Amino acid sequence: MIYRILIEPQSRAAGWKTLFKRPSLGAILLALIPFAAMCFSVPLWDRAEPLVLGIPFNLFWLISWIALSSLCLWGAYRLETKRDKKDGETE
Amino acid sequence: MSPSGVALTIIFGIIAAGAGIGFLAGAHRKMDLEQWTVGGRGFGVLLTYLLMAGEVYTTFSFLGASGWAYSRGGPALYIMAYLTLAYVVSFFILPQIWEMGREYGLQTEADFFGRRYDSKYLAGFVCVVGVAFLIPYVQLQVTGLGIIVEVASAEGIGRTPAMVTAVVLVASFVLASGVRAVAWVSVLKDSLMVLAAVAIGIGVPYAHFGGIGKMFAALAHARPAHLTMPGATANLGHTWYLSTVLLTSLGFYMWPHAFAASFTAESGDTLRRNAVVMPLYTLTLAFIFFTGFTAVLVVPGLSNGDMALLAVVRNTFPAWFLGVIGGAGALTAMVPAAIFTLTAATLFAKNLYRPLFAPAMTDDQVERLARVMVVVLSLVSLSFAIYSSTTLVSLLLLGYAGIAQFFPGVVLGLYWKRATRRGVFAGMVVGVATVALLSLTKRDPCFGFNAGFVALCLNFLLTAIISLTTVPGPAMDRFHKHDLAPRGGRPFKT
C-alpha cells in the first residue's frame, strides 16, 4: 500500500479542476479577529477579577466574543458574496 | 415510586420518544446507500443546520464540559473558544468541499482524499485513521450514557449494564433509519438540551447561592485559582490553551462525520450562512459552565468529575427534573453516537473494504457490510468504555489529536495546486505517529504544548516540503468538464 501511494504515478489527476480561488483579503482579516481575541491574546484576559455582571472576566470575555465572532463572519459573508456577484458579472 | 424510579422512567420515556421520531422519519423511503448515508443530498438550511448542530452538542459538551469546569477549572474555557473558532475556519473550507462533493459525487472524507490525490490507497489510509479516532468519540458517548443512568438510579444500576443497553439502542436505531432519522431526532435532542442547560445554569446557582454572580463571588473567594488557567491542574497553562484551541478548531470539521455532513447541504452558500449563525449556539455552553462551577462548592470531592452536573442537579431538584435532564443528556449521547457509528461503518465498507479487497461489490452489498460494521464498531466502543476510565474531555482530545492530522491534506488540497499525494501521505503518517508516540509515552502536554498540535506542525511542514520536491501529476490546473458526469445541479462554471 505504501509503495503504491509513493511510487504510482498520479495519472488520473488530470481530471482535476482549477483549484478554488482564494478568499478575499478582507474576509481573511475579519476571520483573524476572533482568533486574535479568543486564542492568541489569552495571557491578557485570563483573569477572574473583576467580575463583570457577576461573571469572571475571562468567561465574560469569551462569551462576548462568541457574539462578536458571529458579527465578524457576517461581515466576511457580505464581502465574499459581493465579490462572487462581481465575478459573475465580469465572466 | 422511588425517586430513582421516577427519574429512570422519565429518562427512558424521552429516549423512546426520540427513537419513535427516528423510526417515523426513516419510514416510507427506499433506503439505498446514498439515502442512508447522505440523505439523497437534498437537505435544506433547516435539516443541514439540525444535522450539524446535532453532532456538535454531544455528551462531551453536556457532561464533559461541566466535568472539566468542576475538576480542572480555568482550562475548560478552551471549549468555548474552539467551538466558536471552528465555525470561523469552516467558513473558508466547507463551501469549497461541498462544491467538490457535488461535482464528483463524493459521500465521505476518504472520497475527497481519493479523488483529490487520485489514490484509493490514500483514501484507505484516511479511513483507517478516521475510524480509529472515531472510536474514542463513540466511547465517550457510551460512557456518558452509563454515567447518566448510574446517577439517576442513585447508583442502583451499575454503569456496565447501562452502557450495554445504550449500545443496543443506538445500534438498532442506526440500522433502522439512517441519516435522515438522526437529523430529525436532533430537533428533540437540541431543544431539550438548550432548555435543560439554561434551566440548570440559572437554577442551580440560584438555589444554592441566590444567583450566578453570588456563586462566582463565593467561588472566587474560596478557590481563587480555580477560575483561571492552569486552574486545578499542574500543566494546562496558556501555552496549552493556545495550542489546544488551534488544534481543535482546525480539526473540528476534519471529523469524518462533520466533513460528510457538509455534503448533505443544498448549496455552498447554505454552509457559509450556517457558519455565520452557528457560533451563537455556543452560548449554551456558558450555562453548562455555570452549573459545573457551582458544583465545585456544592458537591465537592466526587471521584469522577463527569458526574458533577448530574450530582448537583440531583442535589438541588426533585427526581422528575433529574429525569428530564438525564433524558436530555441521554439523547445528546445517543444522537451523536448514532452519527459516528454510521459514518465509521460507511467509511469502512465503502472506502476501505470495497476498493482494496472486493472491487466487484455492488452498492447493496456495501450497504449490508456497513450494517454489519455498525454492530462491530458499537461492540468495540462498548468494550473500550467498560475497560477504561479517562475523563470525557481527555477522550475527545485524543480523538482530535489524531483527526486534525487531516487538516493539511484538506486545506492545501483546496487551495494549493502543488500539494501532492506523497507530501500529504508522508505528513499524515508522521503526524499520526507523533500523536501515538507522545500520548502512549504520556508526554502530553509536550513542553507545555498540546501533543496533537506538535504533531500537526510537523505534519504541515513535511507535507509542504515533500510536495515541493515531488511532481504533482500532469495538467493539474485543467478541469475537463466531460471527464466526469456532474451529478445533477447546474453545469460546472469554467
Q: Which of A16, A18, A87 to mutate to test the interface with B (most CBs of B within 10 A)?
A: A16
SS (H, E, C) B275-320: HHHHHHHHHHHHHHHHHHHHHHHHCCCCCCHHHHHHHHHHHHCCHH
Structure confidence at residue B468 (pLDDT): 87
pLDDT at B416 over 80: yes
Q: Would you say B376 and B220 are in contact if contact means Cβ atoms under 8 Å apart? A: no
Locate all alpha helices (DSSP H) within B105-158, ordered by sequence: 109-116, 120-152
Q: What is the mean pLDDT of chain B?
A: 82
> Which residue in B has a C-alpha nearest to residue A55's C-alpha?
B213
Does the N-terminal peptide bond of residue A9 adopt cis geometry, omega within 30 degrees of 0? no
B470 domain-assigned: no
CA B62 – CA B236 distance, rounded (Å): 21
Q: pLDDT band for position B32 (50/70/90)? A: low
Percentage above 70 pLDDT, chain B: 88
CA B340 – CA B170 distance, rounded (Å): 10
> Mean of the pLDDT values across residues B424-451?
85
Structure confidence at residue B39 (pLDDT): 55
Q: Out of B228, B289, B425, name the one closest to residue A48 (CB).
A: B228
Q: Would you say A69 and B84 are in contact if contact means Cβ atoms under 8 Å apart? A: yes
Structure confidence at residue B43 (pLDDT): 59
Q: pLDDT band for position B413 (50/70/90)? A: confident
> Mean of the pLDDT values across residues B389-418?
85
Q: What is the DSSP letter of B449?
A: B
> Mean of the pLDDT values across residues B44-48?
61
Instruction: Say if the Cβ atoms of B124 and A4 lie within 8 Å.
Output: no
More confident residue, B25 or B288: B288
B449 domain-assigned: no
| Sign of the Cα pseudo-torsion (A48, A51, A55, A58, in order) | negative
Express each pLDDT in B308-367 by its tens digit. 999 999 989 998 999 999 998 888 888 888 888 888 888 888 888 888 888 888 888 888
CA B416 – CA B404 distance, rounded (Å): 18
Predicted structure pTM score: 0.85
Locate the domains of chain A by residue range.
23-90
The one-letter amino acid code at A88 reads G
More confident residue, A91 or B444: B444
> Which residue in the block uniquely carries the three cell numbers 450555562?
B287
> Mean of the pLDDT values across residues B224-231?
86
B481 domain-assigned: no
For chain A positions 15-54, those within 8 Å of chain B (CB to CB) are 15-20, 22-23, 27-28, 31, 34-35, 38-40, 42-43, 46-49, 51, 53-54
B329 domain-assigned: yes
Total tally of structural domains belonging to chain B? 1
Closest CA to B140 of B377, B395, B376: B395
From chain B, pick out residues whose CB is under 8 angstroms from the CB of A31: 88, 91-92
Structure confidence at residue A1 (pLDDT): 56
B478 domain-assigned: no
CA B169 – CA B147 distance, rounded (Å): 16
> Mean of the pLDDT values across residues B193-205?
91
Q: Would you say B74 and B235 are in contact if contact means Cβ atoms under 8 Å apart? A: no
The alpha-carbon gap from B53 to the nearest alpha carbon of chain A, in Å, equals 16
CATH number of domain containing B154:
1.20.1730.10
Structure confidence at residue B62 (pLDDT): 85
Q: pLDDT band for position B269 (50/70/90)? A: confident
Express each pLDDT in A1-11 by its tens digit. 555 555 444 44
B41 domain-assigned: yes
Structure confidence at residue A19 (pLDDT): 63
pLDDT at A45 over 50: yes
B93 domain-assigned: yes
Instruction: Say if the Cβ atoms of A34 and B118 lie within 8 Å.
Output: no
pLDDT at B288 over 90: yes
Residues 6+ apart with CB under 8 A from B490: none
> Mean of the pLDDT values across residues B73-95?
91
Residues 6+ apart with CB under 8 A from B234: none
Domain that holds residue B368: 3-391
> Mean of the pLDDT values across residues B124-150?
88
Cβ atoms within 10 Å of A10's Cβ, excluding its own: 19
Closest CA to A16 of B473, B361, B105: B473
From chain B, pick out residues whose CB is under 8 angstroms from the CB of A57: none
Structure confidence at residue B487 (pLDDT): 39
pLDDT at A81 over 90: no
Q: Which three cell numbers stand for residue B139?
A: 466511547
CA A14 – CA A36 distance, rounded (Å): 40
Of the spans B27-36, B50-59, B447-456, which averages the highest pLDDT?
Answer: B447-456
Q: A11 and chain B: CB distance < 8 Å anywhere?
A: yes
Burial class (CB in 10 A: 0-12, 13-18, 19+), B359: exposed
Q: pLDDT band for position B479 (50/70/90)? A: very low
From chain A, pick out residues whose CB is under 8 angstroms from the CB of B221: none
Of the spans B117-126, B150-159, B264-273, which averages the highest pLDDT?
Answer: B117-126
Structure confidence at residue A10 (pLDDT): 46
Structure confidence at residue A9 (pLDDT): 46
Structure confidence at residue B358 (pLDDT): 82
Express each pLDDT in B162-193 by its tens digit. 888 888 888 887 787 666 677 778 778 888 88
Q: A85 and chain B: CB distance < 8 Å anywhere?
A: no
Instruction: Say if the Cβ atoms of A13 and B472 lie within 8 Å.
Output: yes
